[in-house]
Amino acid sequence: MIYFLATVAAIAGFLFGYDEGVIAVVRPSLDKDFPMGPLVAGFMTAAVPLGALAAAGLAGRIIDRFGRRRVLMAAAALFALGALIASAITAVWMLVLARLILGLAIGVAAVGAPLYIAETAPHRIRGALVSTYQLAITIGILVSYLTGLFISGDGTWRTMFGLGAVPGLLFLAGLAFLPESPRWLVLKGFPDDARASLRRLRAAGWPVDGELDEMVRSAQAQAGRKTGYRALLEPAIRPALIVAVGLFFLQQLSGINAVIYYAPQIFSHAGFDSASTQMLATVGVGTVNLLTTVLAMFLIDRIGRRPLLILGFAGASAAMLVIVLAVIEPTLVPSWVIIVVLLLYIASFAISLGPLPHVMMSEIFPLRVRGLGMSMASISNWGFNFIVVFSFPLMLAGPGLAFTFTIFAVICLGGIFFTMTRVPETTGLSLEAIETHCHSGRPLVTLKRGVAAGAAVAAEDD
């Protein structure tokens, strides 16, 4: 059941990826019917992260009040509605509205889906299962690119937008068969319902009492403590907030969404003038993104979060600097090298910077503020996403590609320092063990694999 749950919850990521990638694919067809200048095009493209930013501020409270599963069902309905509106527009403002609705759905789901998976998964495979959300994003992006190859011609943008309603409805149907998060049920005072949920999520006959008892003890230990946004500024929780917000800041300012949204334009700047060549290269980007994310799922619970983050930041920074050199001195770097290096950048991101912020934000906050903490992290995610996507066309038209990618490279270098000085290693620890360390008085960054302060690691041996 846990694998089915992770698959269903990850459909939210697929929908995000599809809506992220499809706008780059449909632009040639869409521009014939609705020509847009750089400012309008930038705002239309950035409407999704803007809507997600608005939803992120509310997602934590809504998810904590109504439950992970029910809120995700509402998001699934919004996904389908936004896709259908986008396919039937008669003016640009309607497309902006549709993408704002999609953004609202994505903003809620980006908090709810990783949280839902993390709170239901056994700790031994929690990182890999939460990473299915990021994997689904890469699948969604690749599917949108491939769909653009097979569906071509005037007006095809309506079909491609409308296809987004199908996974939205599948998402809604799948959630109807899933249980609520047992940790949320314990938090709300329903231990019997939590036990029933655990029994559905674990293998038949597996004893769940030990796991449930630890959840109950952890919830009782936090009873009476503050639960609002102010609680995130408590000395014990503030380091987790800094890590979660900081990782998404670094993720977005690494330049990934500029690459994903505007891949064809980047290849055009690199000297690939053929539209078909640009699209094939863009599909290559999506394929590498997908395959490397699968590799990340295999490694994340084996070699740990911190080593993967350092590897990802180093690779992304090096790739960006090579692209800058190619743009400044095109005679020194052949055009095909730009493709190879850009694929290296995508691989570096997908194995590290893509999945790990989602994994980390779902792990490091105590249960009483987990939804709110993830909401704040999501605000960082979508706020900087909006800034990058909205400003990138203007940066290309102004300072240029070399200057923009230099900024991204420097930020990635800063990510190495941030990881080494701030980010804890949560691999192999139960959520309750991580929470115990947060309240132990020790610096969060001293949390190490298989070691937790003050209490034994949870007996989640699934």
pLDDT in tens, 191-223: 889 888 888 888 766 677 777 888 888 777 776
Is the pLDDT reported for residue 438 higher than 90?
Answer: no
* pLDDT the model gives residue 273: 60
pTM of the full predicted structure? 0.80
Q: What is the mean pLDDT of residues 62-82?
A: 93
Residue 31 has pLDDT above 70, yes or no: yes
C-alpha span between 317 and 345 (Å, rounded): 8
pLDDT band at 265 (very low <50, low <70, confident <90, very high): low
pLDDT at 23 over 90: no
Cα 98 from Cα 432, distance rounded (Å): 40
Secondary structure of the chain as H, E, C letters = CHHHHHHHHHHHHHHHHHHHHHHHHHHHHHHHHCCCCHHHHHHHHHHHHHHHHHHHHHHHHHHHHHCHHHHHHHHHHHHHHHHHHHHCCCCHHHHHHHHHHHHHHHHHHHHHHHHHHHHHCCHHHHHHHHHHHHHHHHHHHHHHHHHHHHCCCCCHHHHHHHHCHHHHHHHHHHHCCCCCCHHHHHHCCCHHHHHHHHHHHCCCCCCCHHHHHHHHHHHHHCCCCCCCHHHHHCCCCHHHHHHHHHHHHHHHHCCHHHHHHCHHHHHHHCCCCCHHHHHHHHHHHHHHHHHHHHHHHHHCCCCCHHHHHHHHHHHHHHHHHHHHHHHHCCCCCCHHHHHHHHHHHHHHHHHHHCCHHHHHHHHCCCHHHHHHHHHHHHHHHHHHHHHHHHHHHHHHHCCCHHHHHHHHHHHHHHHHHHHHHHCCCCCCCCHHHHHHHHCCCCCHHHCECCECCCCCCCCCCC
**What pLDDT, on the 0 to 100 scale, is given for residue 303?**
87
Look at residue 163 and tell me whether its pLDDT is greater than 70.
yes
Give every CB contact of residue 206 below 8 A, 6+ residues apart in sequence. 462
Q: How much of the chain, in percent, has pLDDT values that exceed 70?
A: 88
Q: Mean pLDDT of all residues in the chain?
A: 83
Instruction: Give CA–CA dist 203/211, Å, rounded.
Output: 13
Cα(81)–Cα(45) distance, integer angstroms: 18
Report the candidate in 448, 451, 447, 443 with the shortest Cα–Cα distance to residue 238: 443
User: According to the model, what pLDDT value does residue 287 have?
Assistant: 80
Residue 453 in this model has a pLDDT that exceeds 70? no
Residue 412 confidence (pLDDT): 94
Give the pLDDT score at 331. 73
Average pLDDT over residues 282-310: 85
Sign of the four-CA dihedral 76, 113, 49, 162: negative
**Bridge partners of 448?**
451
Q: How confident is the model at residue 275 (pLDDT cuts 50, 70, 90)?
A: low
First and final C-alpha spacing in the chain: 12
Q: Residue 242: what pLDDT?
A: 94
What mean pLDDT comes out for the span 383-400?
Answer: 77
Query: Binning pLDDT at 50, 70 and 90, where does residue 432 land?
Result: confident
Predicted confidence band of residue 455 (pLDDT cuts 50, 70, 90): very low
Q: Which residue has better confidence, 15 or 267?
A: 15
Whether 336 has a pLDDT exceeding 80, the answer reads no
Local confidence band at 411 (pLDDT 50, 70, 90 cut-offs): very high
- Model pLDDT, residue 458: 40
Task: Single out the residue of 70, 171, 49 nearest to residue 112, CA to CA.
Answer: 70
CB 236 within 8 A of CB 438: yes
Q: Using 50, 70 and 90 to split pLDDT, how confident is the model at 234?
A: confident
Domains in the chain, please, with CATH?
2-178+222-446 (1.20.1250.20)
Lowest mean pLDDT among 33-47, 234-248, 434-448: 33-47
Task: State the pLDDT at residue 418.
Answer: 96
Does the pLDDT value for residue 371 go beyond 90?
Answer: no
Higher pLDDT: 21 or 189? It is 189
Give the residue from 374, 412, 377, 439 showing the smallest Cα distance to 115.
Answer: 374
CA nearest to 387, candidates 53, 134, 101? 53
Specify the range with the lowest mean pLDDT, choosing from 25-34, 65-74, 244-253.
25-34
Q: What is the mean pLDDT of residues 46-67?
A: 86
Closest CA to 437 of 357, 449, 462: 449
- Do residues 143 and 97 lie in contact, with contact meaning Cβ atoms separated by under 8 Å? no
82 falls in which pLDDT band (50, 70, 90)? very high
Residue 394: predicted pLDDT: 80
